[in-house]
């Protein structure tokens, strides 16, 4: 076993955030003990297999193989580490609030003692830290530290977000428990990017940040819908809005809705908090409703371009909730596939990193998804299609040879659900380009003599 320069740290949970965090700390030079309850997962991680696609992660874990130890058993980690970065899932429960079973299991069962600190990275509702503190105190474990240190990294750029965070939020009960966490983060960021808070403010600001970004995306999506009717171009509108530093450019890419493990779940969880505290929120409810129906712009555009959809053949490019990930949690693609099947469309779909097997849960739960054909390549997906719909802007779709696509298709409609394609390149290939809130672009036709 190699000995690293810095103190060993523990990461609890071998999911997306846990593995990126483990790889990040190993890259900084720490020995990392990664605890994961699923023995099969531990065995496959120890063999270097990462169960999802994240750029650079498999390579980073392989590079630091000697420094990262995966185990289901806490003994070695508890014997060696002071800081326990908890990265367990907090999935949405049936009623909308976060399911905190995994969080409380860690707090109650991890045998920590004096000088050891739980650092909560998982997204939890406001008040969870106070509840965890109470549990620890109630068990006579007052000397175990508890810190809220929410995670802000984005899938597909997790490793670089870890190494270069915009901010690090460290909440504690005012007892200095966060000092050791601050010290460790000062190796990757500067003091002015560290915000020390109380526990509940740290938890609230994480949910509020995600909810705000989701609101911004939803706002520009609605503006795009207006642009479609008014004849404006939402990409230009967003550019002009973003030039105001009070607004900024990020999260102003209009399209057919946000997806992923976080935005929908966190907006729902935050809305639930309003309810729990006897208050209400107009904005968050509207964001969820608006996002839920934004995919229908695909339907509108197909009907406009093809007329009747019954029996039409449509190629869906992209299943992941965004490019460079294999995650399909809450992905817009699922709404699109189900919605098109419900209209009697013959749907074929392809994603470079998502196979049908990855959707097995959704496919089993929804009969309409069983009727979708999953293609093995872009070529197979678009062959004979009346229309192509871009759902995830993978670079290989953005850079497609549209003349080749035109030759393979039966029809010539391209619906760009992410405003990611070059309308001129698509129409120059003889295809009809339609975006979301962007003027359509059609091939120049020879005048009929």
Binding stretches for ligand UGA (CB under 6 A):
123, 151-155, 210, 213, 217, 251-253, 255, 258-260, 262-263, 321-322
Q: Shortest distance, CB of residue 5 to ligand UGA, whole angstroms?
A: 28
C-beta closer to ligand UGA: residue 102 or 409: 102
C-beta closer to ligand UGA: residue 30 or 253: 253
Q: Shortest distance, CB of residue 416 to ligand UGA, whole angstroms?
A: 13
Q: Shortest distance, CB of residue 253 to ligand UGA, whole angstroms?
A: 3
C-beta closer to ligand UGA: residue 93 or 373: 93
Q: Shortest distance, CB of residue 256 to ligand UGA, whole angstroms?
A: 8
Q: Shortest distance, CB of residue 355 to ligand UGA, whole angstroms?
A: 20
Q: Shortest distance, CB of residue 218 to ligand UGA, whole angstroms?
A: 9
Catalytic (active site) residue 262 = yes
C-beta closer to ligand UGA: residue 286 or 306: 286
Which residue out of 34, 251, 262, 381 is catalytically annotated? 262
User: What is the 3-class SS of the chain, one letter each residue?
Assistant: CCCCCCCCEEEECCCHHHHHHHHHHHHHCCCEEEECCCHHHHHHHHCCCCCCCCCCHHHHHHHCCCCEEEECCCHHHHHHCCEEEECCCCCECCCCCECCHHHHHHHHHCCCCCCCEEEECCCCCCCHHHHHHHHHHHCCCCCCEEEECCCCCCCCCHHHHHHCCCCEEEEECCCCCCHHHHHHHCCCCCHHHEEEEEHHHHHHHHHHHHHHHHHHHHHHHHHHHHHHHHCCCHHHHHHHHHCCCCCCCCCCCCCCCCCCCCHHHHHHHHHHHHHHCCCCCHHHHHHHHHHHHHCHHHHHHHHHHHCCCCCCEEEEECCCCCCCCCCCCCCHHHHHHHHHHHCCCEEEEECCCCCHHHHHHHHHHCHHHHCCEECCCHHHHHCCCCEEEECCCCHHHHCCCHHHHHHHCCCCEEEECCCCCCHHHHHHCCCEEECCCCCCECCCCCCCC
Residues serving a catalytic function are 262
């Amino acid at each position: 076993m190699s000995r690293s320069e810095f103190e060993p740290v523990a990461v609890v949970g071998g999911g997306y955030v846990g593995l990126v965090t483990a790889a990040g700390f190993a890259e900084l030079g720490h020995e990392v003990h990664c605890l994961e309850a699923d023995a099969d997962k531990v065995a496959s991680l120890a063999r270097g297999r990462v169960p999802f696609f994240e750029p650079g992660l498999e390579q980073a874990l392989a590079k630091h193989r000697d420094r990262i130890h995966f185990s289901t058993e806490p003994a070695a980690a508890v014997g060696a580490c002071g800081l326990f970065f908890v990265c367990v899932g907090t999935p949405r429960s049936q009623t909308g609030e976060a399911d905190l079973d995994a969080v409380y299991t860690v707090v109650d069962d991890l045998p920590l003692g004096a000088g050891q600190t739980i650092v909560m990275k998982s997204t939890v509702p406001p008040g969870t830290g106070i509840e965890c503190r109470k549990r620890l105190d109630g068990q006579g474990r007052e000397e175990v530290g508890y810190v809220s240190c929410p995670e802000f990294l984005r899938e597909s750029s997790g490793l670089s977000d870890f190494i270069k965070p915009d901010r690090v939020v460290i909440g504690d009960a005012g007892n200095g428990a966060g000092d050791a966490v601050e010290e460790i983060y000062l190796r990757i960021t500067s003091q002015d990017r560290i915000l020390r808070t109380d526990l509940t403010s740290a938890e609230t600001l994480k949910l509020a940040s995600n909810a705000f970004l989701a609101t911004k995306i939803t706002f520009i999506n609605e503006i795009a819908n207006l642009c479609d009717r008014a004849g404006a171009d939402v990409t230009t509108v967003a550019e002009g809005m973003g030039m105001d530093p009070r607004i900024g450019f990020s999260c102003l890419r209009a399209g057919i809705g946000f997806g992923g493990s976080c935005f929908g779940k966190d907006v729902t969880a935050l809305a639930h908090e309003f309810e729990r505290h006897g208050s209400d929120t107009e904005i968050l409810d509207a964001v969820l409703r608006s996002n839920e129906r934004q995919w229908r712009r695909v339907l509108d555009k197909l009907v406009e371009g093809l007329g009747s959809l019954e029996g039409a053949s449509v190629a869906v490019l992209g299943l992941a909730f965004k490019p460079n990930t294999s995650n399909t949690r809450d992905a817009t693609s699922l709404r699109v596939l189900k919605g098109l099947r419900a209209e009697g469309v013959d749907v074929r779909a392809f994603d470079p990193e998502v196979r049908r097997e990855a959707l097995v849960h959704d496919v089993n739960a929804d009969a309409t998804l069983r009727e979708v054909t999953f293609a093995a390549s872009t070529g197979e997906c678009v062959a004979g299609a009346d229309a192509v719909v871009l759902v995830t802007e993978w670079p290989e779709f953005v850079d497609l040879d549209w003349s080749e696509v035109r030759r393979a298709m039966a029809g010539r409609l391209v619906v760009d659900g992410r405003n990611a394609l070059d309308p001129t390149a698509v129409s120059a290939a003889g295809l009809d380009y339609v975006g979301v809130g962007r003027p359509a672009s059609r091939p120049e036709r020879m005048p009929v003599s």
